[in-house]
Amino acid sequence: MVLDRRVVREFLEEELKEIPDDIFKDEIAEIFCKYVEDDYYEWLKDNFKSFFNYGKPYWQWVREKIKKYGGRYKENGNDI
pLDDT, one tens digit per residue, over 12-52 is: 999 998 999 999 989 999 999 999 999 999 999 999 999 99
Q: Is the pLDDT score of 79 beyond 80?
A: no
Give bridge partners of residue 75 from the DSSP assignment: 78
Do residues 5 and 30 lie in contact, with contact meaning Cβ atoms separated by under 8 Å? yes
Angstrom distance (rounded) from CA 34 to CA 28: 10
Banded pLDDT at 1 (limits 50, 70, 90): confident
Q: What is the pLDDT of residues 45-77, one digit of tens each?
A: 999 999 999 999 999 999 999 999 999 988 877
Please report, for the chain, the start and end positions of each structural domain, with discontinuous segments joined by +. 5-73
